Amino acid sequence: MNDPAERVSITIPRSVLAKFDSMLAQRGFANRSQAITEILNREIIEASSDQEDQVMAGTITLFYNTRRNNLLGTLSKIQRKHLAEVISSLHVQLENDHIMEVLVVQGPSQTLRSIANELITCKGVKTGKLNLSSTIMPPLHQKQS
């Protein structure tokens, strides 16, 4: 379905507009409208993720050092505890015993935030981020009658 567009006018400082134009050129947006639409969609998704019962899909990206005692076991234990929400994971070996792990998740947004916080705060995790989308995956398995 084609969503009809509305024309709007905004006033912003020239310095902000110059930085915005530079950013949209670097990222490859076709025009300002496309860039503004993407930014607005991201903010709308972020705001809707605050609703506790909103089911969302997304990723949790972690960067960590494998030298930390039992970190891999701790991260695995947390993921097993949340099998209903953690759909899949990808491990990428990085330099100096580091790993980038990307988890595909789906569930209530507050639950996903809680899982991400639990993983990111493990000792040895350098950094992490949760990214959510209001578009969800179809059910993986249907119960058969």
Report the C-alpha gap between 28 and 57 in whole angstroms. Answer: 25
Provide the whole-model pTM: 0.70
Write out pLDDT tens, residues 74-86. Answer: 999 999 999 999 9
Per the DSSP assignment, residues forming a β-bridge with 2 are: none
Place of tokens 């930390």: 68
Instruction: Tell me the pLDDT band of 129, cut-offs 50, 70 and 90.
Output: very high
Q: What is the DSSP letter of 134?
A: S
Instruction: Find the angle CA(81)-CA(83)-CA(89) to the nearest 5 degrees.
Output: 105
Judge whether residue 1 has pLDDT over 70.
no
**What value does the CA radius of gyration of the chain take, rounded to a whole number of Å?**
19
